[in-house]
Amino acid sequence: MKFIGLEEHMMPAEIIQAAGVDGLAMMDAPYLAGLNDLADGGDARLQVMDDATIDVQVLSAAAHLVQCLPPGPATDLSRRLNDTMASVVDKHPDRFRFFVTLPTTDPAAAVAELNRGVEELGAVGTMIHGQTNGVFLDDPSMRPILAEVERLGIPIYLHPGFPPPEVYKAYYSGLDETVAKMLSTGGWGWHAETGMHILRMVAGLVFERFPTLQIVVGHMGENLPFSLARADEWLTPRIKGLSGSVADQILEHVHITISAYTTAAPLLCALQVMGADRILFAVDYPFGNSATTVEFLQNAPISPADKEKIAHGNAEALLKRL
């Protein structure tokens, strides 16, 4: 079975350094332990892929740090990241593709870099890391970016981002610092915020303005499959100008990946709610285990046809530049 991974991170060491070590304050030991693997775009990464029988990784920059920088530095580092990832793809065109990184603190520069990344460098989509200094994608300032994404016919992979300082203080202060960092990120906060981000986009009528826009979220849907019926019940009657229902819009505009989730119950829930055509394979490399994730899907209690869709078929349909 062919495997195409959609959430496979890369962050060259020199760009981490250029972004400034202050931005690493939210990352604790389990995250920092992967930095050497993040920097690698060559033989070591390919060996992990080969050992796990993963055919293609769609590279994405671990660009939480870049996205919240001031416009000038964000634009410069985004260009460097995209050039670096494009060079990795050029060296191994049968094994890699990439998502373009955007300086979202400057929407006009983000549009220009999005166009360059896709039209000149060959990116298959873009990855955006949550809100940008408290600004979500439903904000009017983000519409030029969404319009260009829609024009290019590519998806946005909406990855979690670190919480703003005010949110971190309100929700996670008073706890052991290590526990607070983990609770605010992979332990819960990342997933809750990303699911809410998607619901904000529905509530803000983003998909009414951009009717062909497609979004991908990771981590088995960022809590959306489990809670979609509840959100639909409470929100649909109250959102003025919404076509259909909240659930309709999610199922029409959102795809999910299995990244970092390797137990059957969440997959079966996602399959029942989202359908097999909306679920894609991802590892969350280097923070997820490639071999474990492949083995999980191979042995999952679902049909062979659905496994093929998740492993590669849906990615091939969505990422037309593969």
Q: Percentage of the chain surpassing pLDDT 70?
A: 92
Q: Is this prediction's pTM over 0.75?
A: yes
- How far from chain centre, in Å, is Cα 186? 13
The predicted pLDDT at position 38 comes to 73
pLDDT single digits (tens) 177-202: 989 989 999 999 999 999 999 999 99
Mean pLDDT of all residues in the chain? Answer: 92
Kindly report which listed range (11-15, 100-104, 197-201) carries the lowest average pLDDT score: 11-15
Count of Cβ atoms closer than 10 Å to residue 227 Cβ: 15
Euclidean distance between CA atoms 220 and 222, whole angstroms: 6
Residue 29: band (very low, low, confident or very high) from pLDDT cuts 50, 70, 90: very low
| Ramachandran class of 289: left when φ > 0, alpha when ψ lies in -120 to 50, beta otherwise | beta
- How far from chain centre, in Å, is Cα 293? 17
pLDDT single digits (tens) 117-151: 999 999 999 999 999 999 999 999 999 999 999 99
Euclidean distance between CA atoms 56 and 58, whole angstroms: 7
Euclidean distance between CA atoms 66 and 46, whole angstroms: 26
Residue 14 has pLDDT above 90, yes or no: no
The predicted pLDDT at position 16 comes to 65
Domain boundaries, the chain: 4-318
Which range, 34-43, 160-169, 276-285, has the best average confidence (pLDDT)?
A: 276-285
- How far from chain centre, in Å, is Cα 100? 12
Beta strand ranges found along the chain (DSSP E): 4-10, 56-61, 96-101, 125-129, 156-159, 215-217, 254-257, 279-280
Kindly report which listed range (35-44, 132-141, 217-226) carries the lowest average pLDDT score: 35-44
Residue 81 has pLDDT above 70, yes or no: yes
Count of Cβ atoms closer than 10 Å to residue 81 Cβ: 28
Mean pLDDT within 98-110 = 96
Q: In what order do the strands lie in the sheet with 156-159?
A: 4-10, 56-61, 96-101, 125-129, 156-159, 215-217, 254-257, 279-280
Top-tier CATH class for 4-318: alpha beta
Q: Take residue 85 and report the two structure tokens written for it.
A: 């990832």
